[in-house]
Amino acid sequence: MSRAVTILVGTTTGNAQYCAEEAVFRLQAADIQAQIRPMDDLDATVFAGGGLYLICISTYGQGDVPDNARGLYLSLVTDKPDLGAVRYGLISLGDRSHAQTFGFAGRRFDTQLTKLGAQRVGDVLTHDASSGTMPEEATAEWLVGWSARALEGDAAAA
Ligand SMILES: Cc1cc2nc3c(=O)[nH]c(=O)nc-3n(C[C@H](O)[C@H](O)[C@H](O)COP(=O)(O)O)c2cc1C
């Protein structure tokens, strides 16, 4: 059982980072190792070797990934690595007032990772900034079910 999660953060104004920090706090309290890596300067090799990942990403522009996530996203699209050994969870931040592109950056990552053979664990947490709820509180609640499912998967694979 690996009991370790790499948390990749794509953000513009920091909300996704707050979610990642909340996730580290909760995971470590459950005796699961967790490490945050901002997406800046990462490429698809961050997934080499496989394992369990948590993607925390917001949407910007008109349905775009944040600037700090662009290199990683493009690398996944162009390098097309085999991600068969990767399992991931997804926290997607957006704002429903952008009705045509709500949560699109999260969707882009979800689609691309799945296309490359990675297996998503659990449902996507999609947070709406116009809902009046705090994304880190939503993260804490969602993480209970997600970490249980993720570790079940580890046990099954062991
Ligand atoms: C200039 C701008 C453009 C945005 N575009 C979108 C969008 O296209 N779709 C969406 O769902 N949210 C959009 N958002 C909302 C952000 O994704 C949301 O506020 C999120 O919580 C920001 O997270 P971050 O602080 O981690 O970057 C936009 C926000 C700003 C300021």
Q: Evaluate whether residue 24 is within a structural domain.
A: yes
Mean pLDDT in residue range 91-113: 98
The predicted structure's pLDDT at residue 152: 84
Confidence of residue 1 (pLDDT cuts 50, 70, 90): very low
Q: Evaluate whether residue 157 is within a structural domain.
A: no
C-alpha distance from residue 152 to each of 25, 27, 34, 138 (Å): 20, 15, 17, 22
- What is the CA(95)–ligand 1 centre distance, in A? 6
User: Does the CB atom of residue 26 touch ligand 1 within 6 A?
Assistant: no
The whole-model pTM stands at: 0.97
C-alpha distance from residue 145 to each of 63, 99, 125, 149 (Å): 28, 28, 11, 6
**145 φ/ψ angles, rounded to the nearest 5 degrees:** -70, -40
The predicted structure's pLDDT at residue 110: 98
Q: Evaluate whether residue 143 is within a structural domain.
A: yes
User: Does the CB atom of residue 92 touch ligand 1 within 6 A?
Assistant: no
Task: State the average pLDDT for the chain.
Answer: 95
Q: Evaluate whether residue 20 is within a structural domain.
A: yes
Identify the residue with better confidence: 157 or 6.
6
Confidence of residue 2 (pLDDT cuts 50, 70, 90): low
Mean pLDDT in residue range 21-25: 98
Q: Evaluate whether residue 156 is within a structural domain.
A: no
Which candidate, 95, 96, 7, 14, places its Cα nearest to that of 52?
Answer: 7
Of 39, 40, 59, 64, best ligand 1 pocket probe by most atoms within 8 Å of the beta carbon: 59
Which atom of ligand 1 lies at the shortest distance from residue 64's CA? Answer: 8
For residue 48, give its domain range: 4-151
Does position 13 have pLDDT exceeding 90, yes or no?
yes
Query: If you search the block for the tokens 């429903």, which residue do you land on?
Result: 96
Query: If you search the block for the tokens 């990642």, which residue do you land on?
Result: 20
User: Does the CB atom of residue 16 touch ligand 1 within 6 A?
Assistant: yes
Q: Evaluate whether residue 158 is within a structural domain.
A: no
Which candidate, 122, 9, 22, places its Cα nearest to that of 67?
Answer: 9
| Closest protein CA for atom 4 of ligand 1 | 60
Q: Can you count the helices (H) and strands (E) in the chain?
A: 4, 6
Q: Evaluate whether residue 40 is within a structural domain.
A: yes
Domain harbouring 57, CATH code: 3.40.50.360
- How many separate domains does the chain show? 1
